[in-house]
Amino acid sequence: MQSWQLPEHIADILPSTARQLESAKEQLLALFRVHGYELVHPPLMEYSNSLLTHIDAGLALKTIRLVDQISGRQLGIRADITPQVARIDAHLLSANNGINRLCYAGSVLHARPDGFLNTREPLQVGAELYGLAGIEADIELIDLMLKSLQIGEIGDLLLSLGHVGVFRALAGAAELDEKQSAQLLSLMQDKDAAAVHAQVSVWKLDGMWAKAFALLPTLYGGREVLDEAREKLPDLFAVGAALDDLQAVCEAFPRQNVHIDLSELRVDNYHTGLLYAAYGSKCHDAVARGGRYDGLGEYFGRARPATGFSFDLRTFTGRLPRSERLPAIAVAQQDAAQAAEIIAQLRAEGQCVVVDYGIESNASRDINARLVAQDGKWTIVEQA
């Protein structure tokens, strides 16, 4: 094996793709900025106990750990930026008791890829809103998420909605313990109503709760699912509140193609309420995911209502508009010192100026003009 080979699911980003990604990132951050979201840059690594690996088992498995040679304590390389932003809101921005709108764009590192075709180094871009518990906050973030995904050609967008509150209300009413809830959550992911029914039968649950749990994996489809859920699920306040949230989102996006799935519960995540994701007709998996995660900041001393979304910008590779190299203006090496002032001015204006060292085999590409001295002044001469 060559010593310069990269690990599996890790890859270099070459100039043409790097230009596309950086251009898209600039557009996204500009979009976030005009919607009031302030950019933060959390560190790539922290002490592992700050990365909340004890809260989210799935995140713990993704987190790469190592020993800090300075302190001797265990460090973690971030696998998700959202918990870091929750820490910033709860601790560093604790003077603000109102709304904090924060955004970010940076690399994360996974111990294992999420899938066979996934990178272990996603470029995570996202936005989070802290301090507002109402569904209005979720609607704002969903709107921003859908606008963000216009950067690439991913086809028609499908907004997928779920809500953890429905399952939790039923689990609480049926008095399931933590182990039973986790087991049932896992079965829900397979949409196997028969398996769910068999499991609750083993536990000898009351027939009403057994029927409700078996029904959940079948409650997916269009907006009509909400009416069916209201009709067939037990009349619990928390269930009604969750369905009201979903109804409010549907009404906020009347022309958006919507899919509702009441068994989409993300067993490996820290979300507490509404869940949302976006799918493109030209993509095999969700291109963005988000949801409500109230109270995550409690670990850092301040529990706050929170909602947000994120996505891996690298999944858009090949779907972003081309970002061409800047055409270059060449200046001969022997003229560079004398032309330094005009060169600096041109570069300040955003033009690309390169020094031509006269080595034919190593000549710069995309040169469309030259900077030459004519009649005592520097002139840009177009090349044929």
Q: Which domains does the chain have, with CATH numbers?
A: 1-153+296-324 (3.30.930.10), 156-281 (3.30.930.10), 328-382 (no CATH)
Q: Average pLDDT in the 110-117 region? A: 87
Q: What pLDDT, on the 0 to 100 scale, is given for residue 198?
A: 87
Pairwise CA distance, residues 109 & 272, whole Å: 25
pLDDT tens profile 136-189: 999 999 999 999 999 988 999 999 999 999 999 999 999 998 888 888 888 887
Q: What pLDDT, on the 0 to 100 scale, is given for residue 361?
A: 52
Mean pLDDT computed over every residue of the chain: 90
pLDDT at 2 over 70: no
Weakest mean pLDDT among 33-42, 94-103, 199-208, 226-235: 199-208
Pairwise CA distance, residues 366 & 131, whole Å: 51
Q: Average pLDDT in the 52-69 region? A: 80
pLDDT at 75 over 60: yes
Predicted confidence band of residue 60 (pLDDT cuts 50, 70, 90): confident
pLDDT at 268 over 70: no
Question: Considering the chain, what percentage of its residues have pLDDT values greater than 70?
Answer: 95
Question: Considering the chain, what percentage of its residues have pLDDT values greater than 90?
Answer: 63
Q: Average pLDDT in the 221-245 region? A: 95
pLDDT tens profile 340-382: 999 999 999 999 999 988 766 556 667 889 999 998 899 999 9
Q: What pLDDT, on the 0 to 100 scale, is given for residue 122?
A: 95
* Residue scoring higher pLDDT (308 or 359): 308
Predicted confidence band of residue 133 (pLDDT cuts 50, 70, 90): very high
Q: Average pLDDT in the 211-224 region? A: 92
Nearest to 158 by CA among 23, 282, 2, 327: 282
Pairwise CA distance, residues 51 & 110, whole Å: 13
